[in-house]
Amino acid sequence: MNIETALKEAMTIDGALGVALVDYESGMSLGTLGGGQGLDLEVAAAGNTEVVRAKARTLELLGMQDSVEDILITLGAQYHLIRPLNSSNGSLFLYLALDRTRGNLALARHALKRIEAVLEV
């Protein structure tokens, strides 16, 4: 699955507001879909890069031989889900913003895992 198809697939998740594929080394997005007023995906991509970097540094400082499966940020009206991709995809993560009233967090996590498994970058 290419980037465009993966982003379109992610936007079919119930409650999806926007999705981005982001390189956390540069903070730049490789692609975005959705977003709009109140959800600037380029700003979110850059900001969430810092979240991923901070967690990676923390794991290293703790000496934990583990990896982050996903990071959840819960807002009043939205869920923001960050899924770092496996090492074969380098320094990338999928970022998904969900409407809390329409989204199902468990299904969204499952869908992103499935998309990750078939994404080719």
pLDDT tens by residue, 91-110: 899 999 999 999 999 999 99
Q: CA 58, CA 55: separation in Å to the nearest integer?
A: 5
Residue 87's pLDDT is what?
58
Q: What is the mean pLDDT of the chain?
A: 92
Residue 121's pLDDT is what?
82
What is the longest distance spanned by two Cα atoms in the chain? Answer: 41
pLDDT tens by residue, 23-58: 988 888 999 999 988 899 999 989 999 999 999 899
Whole-structure pTM value: 0.92
Residue 11's pLDDT is what?
97
Residues 20 and 112: beta-carbon distance below 8 Å = no
